[in-house]
């Protein structure tokens, strides 16, 4: 339930940012891309002000640590579902699923720890490092800084988090069907 409310609120925020960007684009004659990026930055700036953080600090907290944390939690949710499957019906197949689930969760833990180690520095320095890395990545991919930002901080994290939730739901559904067959 809490996850559903969180996803709903994030979707609502994204819709509001798109609406602001469309209106700003129509009013100012600037590209939608510029206006959407500006709306996202503005939302982070306002959130930072409300919470007592600078723009750079809130960007590091939200875009690096919170988003990576959500991915980690969603990956661990898959692990928990796999372990629960084994506990409910102890078969060799469920044990293999549990072991794969544990390995899956460990990959997320290691990735999160490595990300935290990579940005283990004062927040202003972490922001500057991330900015330089995004600029370099944009150059290598022959695209813009904004597009790399969208790809990583919106698309990748949404796909990763929602994908993990979908995988967990699918595993639960399959397990429930297995339990019903065993009960018959």
Q: Is the same domain home to 119 and 171?
A: yes
The pLDDT, as a whole number, for residue 8 is: 74
Q: Could you read off the pLDDT of 71-101 as tens digits, one per residue?
A: 999 999 999 998 888 887 788 888 888 899 9
Q: Which residue has the higher pLDDT, 17 or 128?
A: 128
Q: Could you read off the pLDDT of 121-157 as tens digits, one per residue?
A: 999 999 999 999 999 999 999 999 999 999 998 889 8
- CA-based end-to-end distance of the chain: 30
Which of 52, 73, 94 terminates a domain? The answer is: 52
Is 46 a residue whose pLDDT tops 80? yes
Mean pLDDT, rounded, of the chain: 88
Q: Is the same domain home to 58 and 45?
A: no
Q: Is the same domain home to 75 and 142?
A: yes
Residues spanned by the domain of 36: 1-52
Which pTM does this prediction carry?
0.81
Band (pLDDT 50/70/90 cuts) for residue 2 is low
The pLDDT, as a whole number, for residue 179 is: 57
Q: Is the same domain home to 118 and 172?
A: yes
Whole-number Cα distances in Å, 37 to 18, 169, 176: 10, 33, 43
Q: How far is Cα 21 from Cα 148, in angstroms, rounded to an integer?
A: 18
Mean per-residue pLDDT, 64-72: 92
Q: Is the same domain home to 47 and 81?
A: no
The pLDDT, as a whole number, for residue 71 is: 92
For residue 116, give the nearest of 45, 61, 180 by alpha carbon: 61
For residue 70, give the nearest of 135, 137, 115 by alpha carbon: 115
The pLDDT, as a whole number, for residue 175 is: 79
| Tokens of residue 42, six digits | 């503005």
For residue 93, give the nearest of 183, 4, 178 by alpha carbon: 178
């Amino acid at each position: 339930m809490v996850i559903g409310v969180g996803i709903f609120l994030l979707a609502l925020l994204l819709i509001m940012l798109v609406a602001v960007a469309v209106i700003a684009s129509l009013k100012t004659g600037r590209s939608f891309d510029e206006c959407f990026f500006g709306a996202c930055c503005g939302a982070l700036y306002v959130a930072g002000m409300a919470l007592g953080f600078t723009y750079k600090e809130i960007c590091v907290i939200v875009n690096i640590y919170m988003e990576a944390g959500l991915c980690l939690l969603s990956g661990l949710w898959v692990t928990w579902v796999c372990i629960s499957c084994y506990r409910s019906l102890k078969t060799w197949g469920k044990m293999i699923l549990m072991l794969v689930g544990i390995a899956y969760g460990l990959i997320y833990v290691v990735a999160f720890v490595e990300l935290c180690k990579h940005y283990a520095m004062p927040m202003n320095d972490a922001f500057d490092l991330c900015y330089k890395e995004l600029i370099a990545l944009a150059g290598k991919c022959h695209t813009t800084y904004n597009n790399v930002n969208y790809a990583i901080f919106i698309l990748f994290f949404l796909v990763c988090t929602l994908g993990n939730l979908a995988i967990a739901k699918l595993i639960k559904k399959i397990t429930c069907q297995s339990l019903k067959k065993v009960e018959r």
